[in-house]
Structure 1
């Protein structure tokens, strides 16, 4: 699987007032079920408010469009959406995006993106320590396997390691941690 095959599914649910706890229970169930589907690569849930109601944005990643489509078309998902529909103010809002990550705020008409300089600061904050640490961590293997230590191969290994760590491990929690600052005008 190449990283170009990865597809992102954005699901937005605005929950009716006073029904948030019931929705949270349902959300935990559907997340557990989705994780069991072939090609599921992870999920992030962003909680916000829109027009006075709780807005849940679920960002799911799948290994391919066909794997994602299998989840979307599944009877299990259809039944779960029917089960929760009475809690939703706007129904099940689904958007498929070939991009792998929404590090900052997902693009939408009513949620502005943080300024690019803030995005650059957060990205720098995440990448700099990795750029200093990851090459050191690979050095023992490069010494054991000299062919891996060559200029091109070592740079490919180090860069791929940093990119994967940033995209899948560090950027999602860091952006959640700095969300208040990122979204402040």
Structure 2
């Protein structure tokens, strides 16, 4: 099973920000005991920007845990409770890019330089491997065909094999040397 990260954003009605914030914090505290929930971060609007968009980044131990949470009575009660305080529908996004590999659900994101080092450690050998393997197979093909084939193989290799392996091995190093953030502020 692999960890799943879901970002949900909501636009809060003008003048309802404090009330929404209080209800959101209460819901998050209650939801942390849900099975399969590993962590949550609240993203509040930056002061003096006029934005009223709130975000919640939630980490689950598996896709099944995420589906179960979003189908739960607790989540649907939250939607009903928040309805008079928000405008529009919530926007749900699964984080599937490289940023998701570095989010463990516990602690802060590692520094970008560490993420860059591990990404290079995964990409460089994957590109070398697939370029070497595919060169004899696609010899004589247009360079775009060769490049596309190499890139497809590299992306698949990184997504399902290399990055999960590398981030698991280097997890202690990724999490050292920076202050841990509190998941639920205030």
Q: How do 1:119-158 residues align onto structure 2 when only pairs under 5 Å count?
A: 123-124=112-113
Report the 3-state secondary structure (helix = DSSP H, G, I; strand = E; otherwise coil) of the residue aligned with 2:78. helix
Which residue matches 2:17? 20
Pick the structure with greater CA Rg.
Answer: 2
Which residue matches 1:11? 8
Q: How do 1:1-185 residues align onto structure 2 when only pairs under 5 Å count?
A: 5-48=2-45, 52-99=50-97, 100=100, 123-124=112-113, 159-163=170-174, 165=175, 170=178, 173=181
Structure 1 alignment gaps of length 5 or more: 104-121, 129-155, 174-185
Report the 3-state secondary structure (helix = DSSP H, G, I; strand = E; otherwise coil) of the residue aligned with 2:56. strand
Moved over 6 A (4+): 125-128
Distance 1:69 1:170, change over 3 A: farther
Which has the higher relative contact order, 1 or 2, with Cα contacts under 8 A spaced 6 or more apart?
Answer: 2
Structure 2 alignment gaps of length 5 or more: 104-110, 118-166, 182-186
User: Counterparts of 2:78 and 2:57 in 1: how far apart (Å)?
Assistant: 17
Greater share of helix residues, 1 or 2? Answer: 1
Question: How far off its partner does 1:52 sit?
Answer: 3.6
Tell me the TM-score normalized by structure 1. 0.55
User: Counterparts of 2:74 and 2:62 in 1: how far apart (Å)?
Assistant: 19
Q: Is the 8 A contact 1:40 1:61 kept in 2?
A: yes
Q: Is the 8 A contact 2:16 2:85 kept in 1?
A: yes
Distance 1:101 1:35, change over 3 A: farther
Tell me the TM-score normalized by structure 2. 0.55
Provide the alpha-carbon RMSD of the alignment: 3.5
Q: Is the 8 A contact 2:45 2:52 kept in 1?
A: yes
